[in-house]
Structures are given as C-alpha cells and as structure tokens.
Amino acid sequence: MTIDKKKFIEKYVKALESNTAAIFAGAGLSCGAGYVNWKTLLNEAAEELELNIDKEEHDLVGLAQHYINKKRSRGNLNTVIMEQFSTRAELTENHKLLAKLPIDTYWTTNYDCMIEKALDSEGRIVDVKRNQNQLTVSVADKDATVYKMHGDIDSIDKIILTRDDYEKYNLTHPKFREILEGDLLSKTFLFIGFSFTDPNISYILSRIRLVLEDNTRPHYCILKEVEEKEYDNTEEFMYAKIKQQLHIEDLSRFSIETLLVKDYIEITEILESIYKRYRRKTIFISGSATEYLPFNSETGKYFLHQLSKKLVENDFKLVTGFGLGVGSYVINGVADYINSNKKSKLQNHLNILPFSQDSSGDLDLKEVWKKNRLEMISECGMALFLFGNKEKDGKIVLADGLEEEYKIAERQELVRLPINVTGYKTKNLSEQYNEEINIQFKEKILKMYNEINEYKCDFSNKQSIDELVQKIVNLVIEIKKTK
C-alpha cells in the first residue's frame, strides 16, 4: 500500500507530537555521506568468486558467506569494511534533520557512527547500544538511544555480516530482538535508507504480525521509484517495476505503508517539511508593554490572557522570555487552561526563559540576552509579536528587543506574525517588513492575516476582543496545517 506525501507528513508529525515516533536507518542513509552500499562493498569479493554482483544483489548475505567459506576467515572482508568506514565523512542534511526531530529511539543496521554524531552535534545526550551487554546499562539523562543491531565499526570482529551470523542472531542477540519487537509494537517507525531483504527484520515483522494478527501498528518507509533510465531496456524496467509493486504489497502485510519518491532529494524535502510542521506547534510570544493602547490596562491584559489560553486549548505550546507587562498574562492564560484540565502539565504547554535584568561578576548581560533569544526562538515554528513598548526616563518608547527577536525568527525561518492592532513596535515591524511578511503566506492565509490587522475591534469590549483572539487562533491553526 502506498501513501501520498501530504498524508504521510501529517501522520508522522502526529507521531512526533505524541512522542511515539522512531527511526530505522539503513545503509542508504549513509550513502549520501560518501559511504558505499553493500553491493559496491562486496563487488571485489564477487569477482574473486567469479560471480556477477548484479545477479547476487538480492542475496548479499549469502555472497559474504561464500567469500568467507572460500577464504576460511573473515579477515579479508573485515579489512575491506574497515577501510571503507574508517574515512571521515561529513554529516548529510538528512542526518542533521533526523537529529533535530524530537525522536528518542533510533535503530540502525549501519556500522558507521553518523547517527550518533548528528545527535551529538545537536547537543543531545546519546546512549549507544552496540552489543548485548550495553542493553542492561543506561547513560544518565539520555534523550536519545541508538540501537546498532548489527554492531559497530569499532568492534569489526563482532559485526553481523554473513548468513551464519544471521542464522545465529536469535541466539547471540536475543535482547536486541526483544527490544525491537517492543518498539515496533509501541512506536511508529519510519524506515529510511533501508532494505527489507534483511532476514532479521523479516523474521521480527512476521512474528509480530502472527501475534497481533490484524492489529499491528502502522509504520512507514520511503523508497525511490524505479525509473526506466536506470535499466538497459524496457523489458528489464517493467520487470523491476512489477517487482517493486509486489514488494510494496508485501510490506503492507506488516502495516508498513510506502511513500515513493522520484528522486532522493525529495527525502530531504520531506524531512524538512516534517521538521517545520512539527515546530509550528510551538509559538514564540514576543512582546513587552508598560501601556496597552488602544486597549485599556484591563482589556490589554485580558487580551493576552485569552490569547494564551485559546492557543494552548488548541494544542499549541508557548515560549516566552517573560517580557514586562506581557509574560505574566501569558502564564496566567496557560494556568487558567491547566486548572480546568487536570491531566495537563505546565511543561507541555509553556516554556519560560526569563531575562536577567542586572549583571553581576563577569557576566555580559547583552550576550546572555542574545543567547536566550536564540535558544527560545530556535525551538519554535511561529512567532507572534505583540505591543512592544517600555518606559525610559519617564517616557514610553518603543522596545527595540522585538526587532532583534524578529530578525532571529527570520534567520531561523519561523513564520513571523506581527499583530498590527496591538501597536507600538509591533506596528512598526508590520509596516517596516510588510513585503517580506506577506510573501510568507499563500492567498488564503494572507487574507486571514490582513483581516486581523484590519479588524475594527472595540478595545474596551471583551466580546469584541474575544473575536480578535479567535481570528488569531484560526490563523495559526491554518498555518500549522500548511506544508
């Protein structure tokens, strides 16, 4: 069964939001980093055996076994593998994107260290499981686990390589099997760069299907569609096309839906869409206010309270730097929602990173503020700009911090939404960056955004303010749904 791109992105983002997403990475993921695939790796071995690698590509495990049988040692093959994987490789964009996603479970049959390297570069604490013994201990405060079920280049003599290794796997690696079976039952996997000819995976998937019958959990894989230009003649192409379709139908037995892509670059685009869509669940609230004109003090605070409450009611998470005259009412709005929904937890709906107001020791306050802003904004997918004024020397002036936050949001590719009707620096931003703000949106969303900025609100009337709030909420809901 195939799935279209839009539906797949939607479903996988839901898995991310429910903390049930997982990755299973195969050799194809690392090919973009310069590592060779198994067919290339075993080409010389095939030549020594006087076999045609093209005819053996569906039984490379058997080919490796034949080669070792002939050599009566796996030393030569280990050397070839070590030479190929000892070269330093740069992280691919796909590795970087996978590491940025809020996924805590990564499985791989690869010997290289690209996944853990990518996670480490994102500042994540990684627990790498290379062998059976490591499964019984855990790294403190880990936020990602990488299961290397076929071993690691650092223990070349213990990698899973031959038919003999595969046949004994159930005896030599029972805990890996048990944990993978559990994850396949409880998580939604994306198989990427992976071949389903691996006998271990076929066995595990079959076993789960037999236990659960038709109640298996949905999983997804991305495969490149076969193209005629890749074959010598039309007959070979049609044969490959039929075989791929049968393969897709076979995967559906295990509740694995297949997304076909025309080109490998599409995989990067899909991962980027998933990452951006997921981030849009989190909204950065930029704003400060000593006064709230054209609102009065009471209705200005009411607006902030209701807006925050309605956003979290619609499953958004808010991030704020506790801006003066804004942060308190954002917190109050979220707290109001949580008080009426006992199962909700504050940390699931709000992240607060207050700005220190006084320096001490060798602390450079401006550098701290800069770092705080980047940390807050980089986890978000949208930014709402509200009000933007402060008191200086007894006068109300525009708050320049909003523009700094706007520029960071632009660099981090957030959807930027200055709510013009709140005035002050926000109105200034709306006018100054009008063209680039508008270019972010498709026609429907641009119309909704303009309706907010043109809305004739009665700023002293709570019902009218509620209508304004709902228009803003409807806008961010629509943006979240777009690619």
- Is 150 an active-site residue? yes
**Alpha-helical regions (H) of 280-381:** 297-313, 327-339, 365-378
Residue 53's alpha-carbon distances to 27, 41, 42, 49, 57, in angstroms, are 17, 10, 8, 10, 6
Strands laid side by side in the 350-352 sheet: 350-352, 317-320, 282-288, 382-387, 415-418
Residues in CB range of 357: below 8 A, 6 or more apart: none
State the Cα–Cα distance between residues 382 and 413, nearest whole angstrom: 9
Residue 167's alpha-carbon distances to 27, 123, 184, 230, in angstroms, are 21, 38, 21, 33
**Sign of the alpha-carbon dihedral angle for 141, 146, 150, 152:** negative
- Cα end-to-end distance, the chain, whole Å: 23
Query: Residue 396: beta bridge partners?
Result: 391
Determine contact, residues 309/344, Cβ cutoff 8 Å. no
Determine contact, residues 22/106, Cβ cutoff 8 Å. yes
Residue 300's alpha-carbon distances to 40, 256, 385, 418, in angstroms, are 66, 51, 14, 16
State the Cα–Cα distance between residues 207 and 128, nearest whole angstrom: 26
Q: Of residues 150, 219, 305, 349, which has the active-site annotation? A: 150
Closest CA to 78 of 132, 131, 154, 169: 154
State the Cα–Cα distance between residues 119 and 97, nearest whole angstrom: 10
Active site residues: 150
